[in-house]
Amino acid sequence: MFDPATLNRAAHIIRTVSPSLPADAALRQELAANRNLTATARGAVSRVVFTYYRWLPWLTRSESLQRQLAEAIDLQGRFETQPGAVKPEALAALAVPAWLREEVELPAATLAQFQQEPTLWLRARPGTAETLAKELGNCEPATAMTMASALPPLRQACSAVAYLGPKDLFRTEAFQRGAFELQDLASQLVGHACAPEPGETWWDACAGEGGKTLHLADLMQNKGVIWASDRSARRLTQLKERFARARLFNFRTVPWEGGATPPTKTKFDGVLVDAPCSGVGTWQRNPHARWTTTPKDVAELAVVQARLLNHVTGSLKPGGRLIYAVCTLTRSETAAVVDAYTKDHPEMEPVPVFGAAPVPAGTSGLQVIWPHQHRSNGMAVAVWRRR
Ligand SMILES: C[S@@+](CC[C@H](N)C(=O)[O-])C[C@H]1O[C@@H](n2cnc3c(N)ncnc32)[C@H](O)[C@@H]1O
C-alpha cells in the first residue's frame, strides 16, 4: 500500500502534466527537485503516477484525483494477482486508443503486458552479467529465459540482466565505475542485430544519448570507430559523458540533421538508423504516451524514417549492412517503411535480423519484438546488405 505522502506527491505531479510537460518529464522534474527522497519513495511515486495513466479509461473521472488514484492502484493490484479479472476484450477496447487498431492489432498477450509494471533491464559489460548480478543482488540474467520464443541472442552471449530490487542503481558503486548501463532488453537486441566486429567502421545515425552506441562500442571491444550523430547537441554531450564513464574511446560525435548530405565522406561497414518514432512499443513503461500520441505523429514520423534511410544508404561500403530500428509497432512506421525501402533500393538486399534462415524472396525480413515475448519494450528491426 502507498502512504499519503506518496499519493499526494503523485497527485501533485499529475496536476502539473500538460501538453508541453508529459508525465515522465513532470515526474523527473519533481524528483530532481526533491533529491532527499529515498530510492524506495521515488520508486513508489513513479509507480503511482504510471499506474494512474495505465488504468485511466477505467477510472471514475467525476471523482477526486485522490479517489481515482485509489481506484487505479486497486485495479493494478487485482490485475497482477488475478489477470483474468480484466477480460481481454476490455483490454483491447480500453488499454490503448481506438485509432491504434488502424495501425496494428496488438496480441492479447501484449495488451496484458502493457498493464503490468515494466521490468528494469541492465546491460552488463561483456562477460560480466553473472558477477554483476551477484554484486547487485535481486537480479535475473536474460540467458535464464527459457521460453520457446526467446530470440537467438538471448540464448548466447547476452549481457542483459533484469533488476528486481529496490536500490537506486545510479548511486551504486557498480554504476559509477561503468559496470553497467540501464538499457531495455529490446534495445540490447538491436545491438545484437548490428553485431559489429572489432576494428570495423560504423555510423550510429540517430545516436541520441548513446545507449546503442555504447553497446556497439563494447561489442567492438573498443576497437575500430563509431561515428555517432544526432540532431540534438545536448544528447551528444550526454553520450560523451557516458563513454567516459564506460572508459570506451572508439567513437567520434558529429551533428547531423538527417539531410541529404552525410556528415562525412567515410564509407561504413554498418549504419544503424535507430529512428525517431511514435514509441508505441514503450507504452508499458510510459503509459501517458498512449493518450497523447496521435495518428498525425505516426504519419509524420514515417516520412522522417523513410528520409533517414534514404539519406544514409550512399554511405555504406559494398557488403556493408544497414540496420533500421524503431521502438514502435505501427504498420506505417514498420512494414510500410521497410517494404517501400526494399522496393526503392534494389541495391540493398534484405538479410535476416537474427539467425541464419534467408529472408523469403519478395519480403523485407522485418523482425517484430513483441513486449510480452521478453518483458521488454516492443521493437521492430530490419537489416539490409549492400549488394
Ligand atoms: C530513438 S532516439 C535514439 C535513441 C538512441 N539511439 C539510444 O539508443 O539511446 C531517436 C533520435 O533521433 C534523433 N533525431 C530525430 N530526428 C532526427 C533527424 N532528422 N536527424 C537526425 N537525428 C534525428 C533524436 O534527437 C533522437 O535522439
pLDDT at 144 over 80: no
Is the shortest distance between the CB of 242 and ligand 1 below 6 Å? no
Query: Cα 236 to chain center, whole Å?
Result: 18
- In the chain, the number of structural domains is 3
At residue 143, the pLDDT reads: 73
Residues 218 and 146 in one domain: no
**For ligand 1, atom 4, which residue shows the shortest CA distance?**
208
Which of 279, 284, 282, 281 has the alpha carbon at shortest distance from 53? 284
Is the shortest distance between the CB of 232 and ligand 1 below 6 Å? yes
The total of other beta-carbon atoms located within 10 Å of residue 56's CB is 17
Mean pLDDT (the chain, rounded): 95
At residue 331, the pLDDT reads: 98
Say what the alpha-carbon torsion angle 324, 332, 366, 256 is, to the nearest 10 degrees: 0
Set of cell numbers at residue 186 = 529490446
Residues 190 and 166 in one domain: no
Question: Percent of the chain, pLDDT > 90?
Answer: 89
pLDDT digits (tens, 9 = 90+) for 342-365: 999 999 999 999 977 889 888 899
List the CATH number of the domain containing 176. Answer: 3.30.70
158 is catalytic: no
- Establish if 178 belongs to a structural domain: yes
Looking from the CA of residue 230, the nearest atom of ligand 1 is 22
Is the shortest distance between the CB of 274 and ligand 1 below 6 Å? yes
When pLDDT is cut at 50, 70 and 90, the band that residue 61 belongs to is: very high
Name the domain boundary from 159, 182, 205.
182
At residue 154, the pLDDT reads: 72
At residue 356, the pLDDT reads: 74
Set of cell numbers at residue 98 = 481506438
Is the shortest distance between the CB of 257 and ligand 1 below 6 Å? yes
- Establish if 130 belongs to a structural domain: yes
Quote the ligand 1 centre to 38 CA distance (angstroms). Answer: 32
E strand map for the chain: 120-124, 139-141, 160-163, 180-182, 201-204, 225-230, 251-255, 268-274, 316-326, 348-351, 367-369, 379-386
- Average pLDDT, integer, range 300-327: 98
Residues 161 and 193 in one domain: no
Largest CA distance in the chain: 63
pLDDT digits (tens, 9 = 90+) for 195-218: 999 999 999 999 999 999 999 999
Name the domain boundary from 86, 112, 132.
86
Set of cell numbers at residue 96 = 490503448
E strand map for 189-286: 201-204, 225-230, 251-255, 268-274
- Average pLDDT, integer, range 97-120: 96
Phi, psi angles (nearest 5°) of residue 99: -60, -25
- Establish if 94 belongs to a structural domain: no
Quote the ligand 1 centre to 305 CA distance (angstroms). Answer: 10
**For ligand 1, atom 26, which residue shows the shortest CA distance?**
208
Residues 380 and 254 in one domain: yes
Quote the ligand 1 centre to 360 CA distance (angstroms). Answer: 30
Residue with the bigger pLDDT between 148 and 82: it is 82
Helical packing angle, 185-194 and 211-219, nearest 10° = 50
- Establish if 251 belongs to a structural domain: yes
Set of cell numbers at residue 150 = 526467446
Structural domain range at position 291: 185-386
Q: CB of 88 within 8 A of CB of 112?
A: yes
At residue 153, the pLDDT reads: 75
- Establish if 359 belongs to a structural domain: yes
At residue 151, the pLDDT reads: 78
pLDDT digits (tens, 9 = 90+) for 215-247: 999 999 999 999 999 999 999 999 999 999 999
Name the domain boundary from 182, 200, 232.
182
Quote the ligand 1 centre to 275 CA distance (angstroms). Answer: 6
When pLDDT is cut at 50, 70 and 90, the band that residue 157 belongs to is: low
Rounded to whole angstroms, how far apart are CA atoms 48 and 54? 10
Q: CB of 300 within 8 A of CB of 290?
A: no
At residue 355, the pLDDT reads: 76
At residue 84, the pLDDT reads: 87
Looking from the CA of residue 257, the nearest atom of ligand 1 is 20
List the CATH number of the domain containing 345. Answer: 3.40.50.150
Residue 285: partners with Cβ closer than 8 Å, 6 or more residues away: 50, 118, 184, 377
pLDDT at 16 over 70: yes
Residues 288 and 139 in one domain: no
- Establish if 112 belongs to a structural domain: no
Is the shortest distance between the CB of 236 and ligand 1 below 6 Å? no
Rounded alpha-carbon distances, angstroms, from residue 381 to 321, 351, 373:
13, 11, 15
At residue 155, the pLDDT reads: 67
Which residue is it, cell 494477482? Answer: 81
Instruction: Return the CA Rg of the chain.
Output: 21
Q: Please tell me which residue in 158, 194, 277, 327 is annotated as part of the active site.
A: 327
Looking from the CA of residue 212, the nearest atom of ligand 1 is 8
Quote the ligand 1 centre to 159 CA distance (angstroms). Answer: 24
Which residue is it, cell 524472396? Answer: 361
